């Protein structure tokens, strides 16, 4: 069999924050190679699959030599000879070898690196672009890029807003290429506005600016002005989205808004979001409440789920068991999809399918610590997710995903469709 896995080799590389991460090369019997690397979060959900780190003196404890060794020795011997085109079988072999509920034995970083590299090798062996190999011949819809142009929270060392991510979505653009241009123009206009008002224009982990604003809502004001200043219509051409990543400021039953010097309960957070949705063209709210605040989430979805997209990240962690509970309890209407939260391509696809089965949407996401691997760009087209977030239109590891989507759009030519408003709500009620 030409596509049988012939060798598996991992190495320790650096991510965009200067921390070690796993890169994997998979070679097939016919000589084809597939390479993939693994990102890493900072506002990580406590229910995520385990990212194995060495905890030795190397790299201040963050080394991944153990995960690399698990790939080279244990995983390699378990999957050598398996057909790379049978992704399910490869992933199943790794799950069985690990045997734990959270991949703590081998490490989700080890397993995911192999899983994605096997998919790439398969695509290369078939001489197909990755998006087509994964999504089939009808995969032709480009996602709306959700540009994170203002960073706060842990991605900004708490030097900016409590809200971690303020995003713009150019839903009115006629193509992905134009959406990228609109996003970059607005990004640069925002830089000028912040600079003119005396704020820092240094950037956070995901490439967005980190101004030391006094109120979280000030960020929304600046962004609306930047959209207008760049010549676009807020709410029509470009809508807003926010990811407070609220688990990172939730403690003892309260949400601690450091910038505003106050702590509030879930109901007050919901009232704050509802007021923002009334006053600004916000279409999507991710992780408005904390990762185990199921009751709060239910209220939040009752209040805003008919108006905007309510996306669960830390609460679902791309895990079908948690998503199933969310669907049953009706606590959201969308799932954030991060392959490294769950650890295999097969399980990531299952999470997207479960969301679709419930008439929810799915948004593909990078991590705050990234590599230049653009797997998620192809994945978003393959699974037709309609939107994807991968940071600001700035910084190499962020723009590589957006640039890959440009290439895919070019390759598709006239058959390319831009998702536009399809997934980025306001929802049709
Ligand atoms: P993380 O942040 O990659 O640091 O977890 C991204 C997010 O919260 O969506
Ligand atoms: Zn998030």
* Residue partners of 64: CB distance under 8 A and separation at least 6: 12, 20, 21, 22, 52, 53, 54, 107, 109
Ligand 1, atom 1, residue with closest C-alpha: 41
**pLDDT score of 427:** 41
Question: Ligand 1: which atom is nearest the Cα of residue 366?
Answer: 3
Among 286, 362, 368, 371, say which to mutate for ligand 1: greatest number of ligand atoms within 8 Å of CB: 368
Query: H helices then E strands: how many in the chain?
Result: 14, 17
- The pLDDT-based confidence of 3 (bands split at 50, 70, 90) is very high
**Distance of alpha carbon 362 from alpha carbon 305, whole angstroms:** 15
Ligand 2: distance of its center to the CA of 79 in Å? 33
By the 8 A CB rule, do 151 and 210 touch?
Answer: yes
Ligand 1: distance of its center to the CA of 76 in Å? 30
**Distance of alpha carbon 54 from alpha carbon 60, whole angstroms:** 9
**pLDDT score of 422:** 73
Ligand 2: distance of its center to the CA of 250 in Å? 14
294-304 and 266-279 helices, crossing angle to 10°: 20
Please state whether beta strands 309-312 and 334-337 pair in parallel, antiparallel, or not at all (unpaired). Answer: parallel
Among 164, 244, 340, 392, say which to mutate for ligand 1: greatest number of ligand atoms within 8 Å of CB: 164
Using the predicted structure, report yes or no on whether residue 428 has a pLDDT greater than 70.
no
Ligand 2: distance of its center to the CA of 28 in Å? 36
- The per-residue pLDDT for range 264-313, each reduced to its tens digit, is 999 999 999 999 999 999 999 999 999 999 999 999 999 999 999 999 99
Among 313, 369, 389, say which to mutate for ligand 1: greatest number of ligand atoms within 8 Å of CB: 313
Q: 260: how many CB neighbours lie within 10 A of its CB?
A: 16
Ligand positioned closest to the Cα atom of 366: 1
Ligand 1, atom 6, residue with closest C-alpha: 367
Q: Which residues are catalytic?
A: 206, 338
- The per-residue pLDDT for range 103-148, each reduced to its tens digit, is 999 999 999 999 999 999 999 999 999 999 999 999 999 999 999 9
Q: List the one residue out of 429, 405, 407 whose CA is nearest residue 419.
A: 405
Question: Once rounded to an integer, what is the mean pLDDT over residues 243-248?
Answer: 98
Question: Ligand 1: which atom is nearest the Cα of residue 40?
Answer: 3
Q: 93: how many CB neighbours lie within 10 A of its CB?
A: 16
Question: Ligand 1: which atom is nearest the Cα of residue 45?
Answer: 5
**pLDDT score of 332:** 98
By the 8 A CB rule, do 257 and 228 touch?
Answer: no
Largest CA distance in the chain: 64
Using the predicted structure, report yes or no on whether residue 429 has a pLDDT greater than 80.
no
Ligand positioned closest to the Cα atom of 42: 1
Q: Residues of 193-230 as b/e, b for ≥16 C-beta within 10 angstroms?
A: bbeeeebeeebbbbbbbbbebeebbbbbebbbebbeeb
Among 165, 367, 371, 391, say which to mutate for ligand 1: greatest number of ligand atoms within 8 Å of CB: 367
Q: 276: how many CB neighbours lie within 10 A of its CB?
A: 18
**Distance of alpha carbon 122 from alpha carbon 26, whole angstroms:** 10
Ligand 1: distance of its center to the CA of 43 in Å? 5
Ligand positioned closest to the Cα atom of 311: 2
Using the predicted structure, report yes or no on whether residue 426 has a pLDDT greater than 90.
no
Q: 80: how many CB neighbours lie within 10 A of its CB?
A: 12
Q: List the one residue out of 367, 360, 287 whose CA is nearest residue 323.
A: 360
DSSP code of residue 234: B
Using the predicted structure, report yes or no on whether residue 424 has a pLDDT greater than 80.
no
Ligand 2: distance of its center to the CA of 368 in Å? 10
**pLDDT score of 190:** 98
Q: Which residue has the tokens 């192809």?
A: 378
Sign of the four-CA dihedral 322, 349, 152, 307:
negative
Full set of structural domains in the chain with CATH: 5-127 (3.30.390.10), 135-418 (3.20.20.120)
Using the predicted structure, report yes or no on whether residue 350 has a pLDDT greater than 60.
yes
Question: Ligand 1: which atom is nearest the Cα of residue 164?
Answer: 8
Q: Does 422 or 92 have the greater pLDDT score? A: 92
**Ramachandran angles phi, psi of 5, nearest 5°:** -70, 125
Question: Once rounded to an integer, what is the mean pLDDT over residues 348-368?
Answer: 98
Question: Ligand 1: which atom is nearest the Cα of residue 155?
Answer: 4
Ligand 1: distance of its center to the CA of 35 in Å? 24
**pLDDT score of 423:** 64
| Ranges assigned E (strand) in 192-252 | 239-243, 250-251
Question: Once rounded to an integer, what is the mean pLDDT over residues 170-183?
Answer: 98
Please report, rounded to a whole number, the percentage of residues in the chain having pLDDT higher than 70: 98
Q: List the one residue out of 104, 99, 127, 122 whose CA is nearest residue 5.
A: 122
As a whole number, the mean pLDDT across the chain is: 97
Residues with CB under 6 A from ligand 1: 41-44, 243, 245, 313, 365, 367-368
């Amino acid at each position: 069999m030409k596509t049988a896995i012939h060798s598996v080799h991992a190495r320790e590389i650096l991510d965009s924050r200067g921390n070690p991460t796993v890169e994997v090369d998979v070679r097939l019997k016919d000589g084809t190679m597939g390479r993939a690397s693994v990102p890493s979060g900072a506002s990580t959900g406590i229910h995520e699959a385990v990212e194995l780190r060495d905890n030795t003196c190397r790299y201040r404890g963050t080394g991944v030599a153990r995960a690399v060794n698990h790939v080279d020795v244990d995983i390699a011997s378990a999957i050598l000879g398996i057909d790379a085109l049978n992704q399910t079988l490869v992933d199943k072999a790794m799950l069985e070898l690990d045997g734990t509920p959270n991949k703590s034995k081998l490490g989700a970083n080890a397993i995911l690196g192999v899983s994605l590299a096997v998919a790439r090798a398969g695509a290369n062996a078939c001489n197909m672009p990755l998006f087509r190999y994964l999504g089939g011949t009808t995969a032709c819809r480009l996602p709306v890029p959700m540009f994170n142009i203002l960073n706060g929270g842990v991605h900004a060392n708490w030097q900016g807003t409590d809200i971690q991510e303020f995003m713009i979505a150019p839903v009115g653009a006629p193509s992905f290429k134009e959406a990228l241009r609109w996003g970059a123009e607005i990004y640069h206009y925002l830089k000028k506005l912040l600079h003119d008002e005396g704020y820092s224009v240094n950037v956070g982990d995901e490439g967005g600016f980190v101004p030391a604003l006094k109120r979280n809502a000030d960020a929304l004001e600046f962004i609306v002005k930047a959209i207008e200043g760049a010549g676009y219509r807020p709410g029509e051409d470009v809508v807003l989205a926010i990811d407070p990543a609220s688990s990172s400021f939730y403690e003892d039953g309260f949400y601690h808004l450091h910038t505003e010097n106050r702590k509030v309960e879930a109901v007050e957070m919901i009232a704050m979001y509802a007021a923002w949705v009334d006053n600004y063209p916000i279409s999507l709210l991710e992780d408005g409440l904390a990762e185990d605040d199921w009751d709060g989430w239910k209220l939040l979805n009752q209040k805003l789920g008919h108006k905007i997209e309510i996306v669960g990240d830390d609460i679902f962690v791309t895990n079908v068991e948690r998503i199933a509970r969310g669907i049953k309890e009706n606590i959201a209407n969308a799932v954030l999809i991060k392959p490294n939260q769950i650890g295999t391509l097969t399980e990531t696809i299952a999470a997207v399918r479960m969301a679709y089965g419930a008439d929810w949407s799915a948004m593909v996401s990078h991590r705050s610590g990234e590599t230049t691997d653009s797997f998620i760009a192809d994945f978003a087209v393959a699974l037709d997710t309609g939107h994807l977030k991968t940071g600001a239109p700035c910084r190499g590891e962020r723009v590589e995903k957006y640039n890959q989507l440009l290439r895919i759009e070019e390759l598709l030519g006239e058959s390319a469709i831009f998702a536009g408003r399809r997934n980025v709500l306001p929802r049709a009620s």
